[in-house]
Amino acid sequence: MPQNTVDAAVIGGGPAGLSAAIYLARYNREVLVFDTGHGRSTHHQVNHNYLGFPDGIATVDLRKLAEEQLARYPNAGIAHHRITDVRGDAERGFTLYAQGGSWRARTLLLATGVLDHFPHFPGWEAYVGRSMFWCITCDGYENRGRRILVVGHTDAAAGEAMQLHALTDRVQLLTNSRADGISPRFRRRLESAGIPVIHDRILGHEGDDGLLRAITTHGGLRLELDALFSIQGATPETVLAGKLGVRLADTGYVAVDTEQKTSVAGVYAAGDITALHSHQVTAAVHEGAQAASAANYFLYPPELKAD
């Protein structure tokens, strides 16, 4: 391996990637994290599910603390570059390419997350995590008893509306699509629960300081609300996995085993990119730690391995 090769390159600086990097640094490995400063953990939401924070912690603050923790290790670093291509294998080493240059690594850890499909209207980004959410597990409890607008045109959206109905009886569903894919079975359930289905699309909004007050539609409706739950799906960021020939599951997410190993030797994946469900900070931190431990073991010479 060339002199400038690190032991591990972590692509993604969210909870999964930072957790992996800290573990690798503590294994005394040279590790470099590539972070573009985007993703779910850069939104404004407060995480109330993470152990040890009774009042919750903003995900941006959790990232900051993790970066400060990683900075304690001289063998770890963060590069703010978007990796656009990856080539090579574990035997020859991997080469990562970005507009700012290229880097070499003996192992790779993919923590690139997903791209959420939020409703788009002017200034929509400012509402994500404050009054526009995607996860009932993360934010449902804080919105109990409030006026909730579920946005989505599938049975998954209908199911989320039914689940939220257990927290509040003031739920509406807006398809926000030309298509209406809600099945008759779920439509009957929504009707029985008193949840109206509005087949229309978002035109604009009313709100400020991250707090929505109303959504206006192309059909001329004004829907008052306290919180919007977007159930329009997400796309896993698997472009780099595809370039490496990593196997994907039928869901389109990266297939991994219990140690976060992918189908390609020396390549690991952690966080939201690995599963359709369980997109939680707790799961991402665990998977990052597991992937780092597996990568560390992979890097040992054969005489130090029991298998």
pLDDT in tens, 91-113: 999 999 999 899 999 999 999 99
- Retrieve residue 237's tokens: 């960021």
- Retrieve residue 212's tokens: 């929505």
Q: What is the pTM of this model?
A: 0.95
**Which amino acid would we find at residue 33?**
V
Give the long-range contacts of residues 246-249, CB within 8 A, separation 24 or more. Answer: 246/110
pLDDT band (50, 70, 90) for residue 277: confident
pLDDT in tens, 26-70: 999 999 999 999 999 999 999 999 999 999 999 999 999 999 999
Angle (deg, nearest 10), helices 184-193 and 155-164: 20
Closest CA to 83 of 119, 35, 45: 35
Q: Is the pLDDT of residue 304 over 80?
A: yes
pLDDT in tens, 7-29: 999 999 999 999 999 999 999 99
- What is the rounded CA–CA span in Å between residue 156 and residue 18? 31
**What is the DSSP secondary structure assignment for residue 271, as one 8-state letter?**
S
Sheet holding 202-208, edge to edge: 202-208, 211-217, 222-224
**What is the DSSP secondary structure assignment for residue 263, as one 8-state letter?**
S
Residue 220 buriedness (CB in 10 A; 0-12 / 13-18 / 19+): exposed
- Contact (Cβ atoms closer than 8 angstroms) between residue 50 and residue 38: no
